């Protein structure tokens, strides 16, 4: 069941009307509607986002306060919760056409535009920093994924990017020393994706067959074991955390990473 939270600094009637109008198009859908009005503090917003993170949820909000919009955006990203700003795009368009700033705070419109463009920038960042590209710019990444070939680094990087995280990934290869920029990254930003050797071999065999990569040593048990041991050693030496991705979806892996990231930090 999908829980839809409708949140407002006032009564919440506007957000609820929008939600019910949209939901009317989904007959007999398993939906639970939760209305929360008079939300006036950042702490209240954080509490609601944390509640929403406990189940399959989406948040619709009509905050006028720029501060609460920012808190909602930040907390929703941290907890991987979908949050939709119902009034934001309308206010932004009015501001543009009227050439006026909303009374709540001068410059609010451009701030919202920046927030909405973050996801686009994050996806572009992910593509430009995939598979060890532009390693000298790793200091700009909020998350850096490392690991051996076929350990879900790229799909997880892109999933995080679509959630607004500036993520990059770097392959770990025993014959190649890790780039100095990677070793210089704060350890709390670096996550090593590992996988059961048997499952990793299956994935590599499939890739080798599809792309004409030589099966040996790429998919040999001995070679895979050596690579995983190399990763384990680097993680111990650099205090990198490991995420076992065996049998997990990209979404599950990303949620684990997000849960381990610092909750209070300066965002880009």
pTM value is 0.63
Nearest alpha-carbon partner for 221 in 211, 229, 213: 229
Q: Is 133 helix (H, G, I), strand (E, B) or coil?
A: coil
pLDDT of residue 268: 42
- CA-to-CA distance for 103 and 63, rounded, in angstroms? 13
**Distance spanning both ends of the chain, measured CA to CA:** 34
All structural domains of the chain with their residue ranges: 2-86, 129-260
Give me the CATH topology for the region 129-260: Rossmann fold (3.40.50)
Residue 266 phi/psi, 5-degree rounding, is: -80, 125
Give me the CATH topology for the region 2-86: Rossmann fold (3.40.50)
Check for a shared fold between 2-86 and 129-260: yes
Task: Return contacts of 117-125, CB within 8 angstroms, 24+ apart.
Answer: 118/164, 118/268, 119/161, 119/162, 119/163, 119/164, 121/166, 122/160, 122/161, 122/162, 122/163, 122/164, 122/165, 122/166, 122/167, 123/158, 123/161, 123/162, 125/161, 125/166, 125/167, 125/168
Give Cα 97 distance to the centre of its chain: 33
pLDDT digits (tens, 9 = 90+) for 50-97: 999 999 999 999 887 878 888 998 999 999 999 998 877 776 677 777
pLDDT digits (tens, 9 = 90+) for 87-114: 777 766 777 778 776 555 434 444 555 5
Percent of the chain with pLDDT over 70: 91
């Amino acid at each position: 069941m999908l829980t839809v939270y409708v949140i407002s600094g006032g009564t919440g009637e506007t957000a609820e009307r929008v939600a019910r109008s949209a939901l009317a198009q989904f007959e007999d859908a398993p939906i639970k509607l939760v209305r929360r009005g008079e939300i006036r503090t950042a702490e209240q917003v954080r509490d609601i986002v944390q509640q929403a993170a406990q189940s399959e949820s989406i948040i619709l909000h009509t905050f006028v306060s720029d501060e609460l919009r920012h808190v909602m955006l930040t907390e929703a990203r941290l907890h991987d919760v979908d949050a939709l700003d119902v009034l934001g795009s309308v206010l932004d368009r009015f501001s543009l056409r009227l050439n006026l700033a909303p009374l709540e705070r001068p410059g609010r419109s451009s701030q919202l535009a920046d927030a909405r463009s973050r996801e686009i920038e994050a996806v572009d960042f992910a593509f430009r920093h995939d598979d060890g590209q532009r390693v000298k710019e790793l200091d700009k990444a909020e998350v850096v994924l490392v690991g051996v070939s076929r350990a879900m680094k790229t799909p997880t990087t892109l999933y995080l990017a679509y959630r607004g995280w500036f993520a990059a990934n770097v392959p770990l290869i025993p014959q190649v020393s890790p780039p100095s920029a990677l070793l210089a990254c704060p350890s709390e930003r670096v996550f090593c994706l590992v996988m059961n050797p048997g499952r990793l071999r299956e994935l590599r065999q499939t890739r080798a067959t599809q792309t004409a990569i030589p099966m040996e040593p790429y998919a040999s048990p001995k070679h895979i074991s050596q690579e995983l041991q190399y990763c384990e050693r680097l993680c111990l030496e650099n205090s990198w955390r490991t995420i076992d991705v065996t049998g997990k979806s990209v979404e599950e892996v990303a949620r684990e990473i997000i849960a381990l990231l610092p909750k209070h930090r300066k965002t880009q």
